Amino acid sequence: MTLKTYLEILRPANCVMAAFGVFIGYAIASGGLAVNMQLVVAMAVVFTICGAGMAINDVFDALVDAKLKPQKPIPSKKITSRNALAYSLFLFQGANIVALLFLPVQSFIIALAFSILLIAYAAALPNFKYFGNWVVALGTAFTLVFGASLFGNYSTVFFFAGSALFANVAREIVKDIEDMKQDEGFKVSLPMIVGVRPAKYTALTSTALAIMFGFVPFFNGFGGAIFAVFLSIAAIAFVYAALLSYKSKFARSQKIYKIAMFVALVSFLSGVI
């Protein structure tokens, strides 16, 4: 086991995005881009909780990954399940202790609640992907709320969190449709239960809700022209991604969803400028 392995199992790119979400949530709630030590601590807490969630998910998915993704750290023998579990629980504990000691009580409650949710998801929900979709989507939404909790102002962030939630649900459903064959016998996803066409309609509906939630703050006076332009670009990209999924171009649809979500996050931040 090497330091690289311990970093790899955290999937740091995802954790950086989670920390970025905290920054955006704080910026929106506070109305500025100023960085202070409390914000840095909050971003580190979310980075760590996100990484711990990735690691513990790999522990409970080890048998499935051995067949479907043998290159991952545990099935490739880079780290044992036991060590990965201990590492994950250590990170969860450390992040929550830091949140308790250095962040507002509401921030600690959010950190603790989401830590418990991630552990429950890893242990009980992977076989029920239709529930897991919402847990994964909540992960992105809660980073924004967590950032806002430092300032205690949730009025605008609530709508952006809702937008992030529904956009991620849409992408997760599209991914489930694409993965139906490889998930068969291992996991139960929404398209397996309701069929591909209804799952596509659900993704389309979720995409529409994401766009609607994103625009509510603009009509309430948040942001200006730059915000409107970026958000409109994100909305167009979301529509394009949804249409690609409807045409069964699932891999490309997922990529466009990712791009659209990043542009949406940038648009949220631009509204503060």
pLDDT, one tens digit per residue, over 57-102 is 899 888 777 777 888 888 888 899 999 999 999 999 999 999 999 9
Question: Is residue 154 exposed (0-12), middle (13-18) or buried (19+ Cβ within 10 Å)?
Answer: middle
What is the CATH number for 89? Answer: 1.10.357.140
Among 122, 152, 182, the domain boundary falls at 152
State residue 68's pLDDT score.
74
Specify the amino acid at residue 58. D
Among 152, 172, 191, the domain boundary falls at 152
Sign (positive or negative) of CA dihedral 151, 155, 156, 160: positive
CA dist 55 and 65 (Å) reads 13
Phi and psi, residue 233, nearest 5°: -60, -45
Token pair, residue 169, equals 């649900």
Sign (positive or negative) of CA dihedral 28, 32, 34, 37: negative
Range of the domain at 54: 1-152
Same-domain check for residues 168 and 126: no
Same-domain check for residues 22 and 136: yes
Same-domain check for residues 116 and 201: no
Same-domain check for residues 148 and 172: no
Specify the amino acid at residue 26. Y
Same-domain check for residues 141 and 41: yes
Question: Can you tell me whether residue 188 is helix, strand or coil?
Answer: strand
CA dist 198 and 189 (Å) reads 12
Q: How many domains does the chain have?
A: 2
Pick from 9, 235, 197, 165: which is nearest to 227 by CA? Answer: 235
Same-domain check for residues 88 and 177: no
Mean pLDDT, the chain, as a whole number? Answer: 91
Same-domain check for residues 170 and 113: no
Among 152, 167, 193, the domain boundary falls at 152
State residue 189's pLDDT score.
84
Same-domain check for residues 130 and 77: yes
Same-domain check for residues 23 and 127: yes
State residue 240's pLDDT score.
96
Express each pLDDT in 249-265 by its tens digit: 988 999 999 999 999 99
Residue segments in the chain with a per-residue pLDDT below the cut of 70: 1, 125-127
Same-domain check for residues 51 and 134: yes
State residue 126's pLDDT score.
58
What is the CATH number for 172? Answer: 1.20.120.1780
Same-domain check for residues 6 and 138: yes
CA dist 124 and 242 (Å) reads 30
Same-domain check for residues 45 and 118: yes
State residue 4's pLDDT score.
85
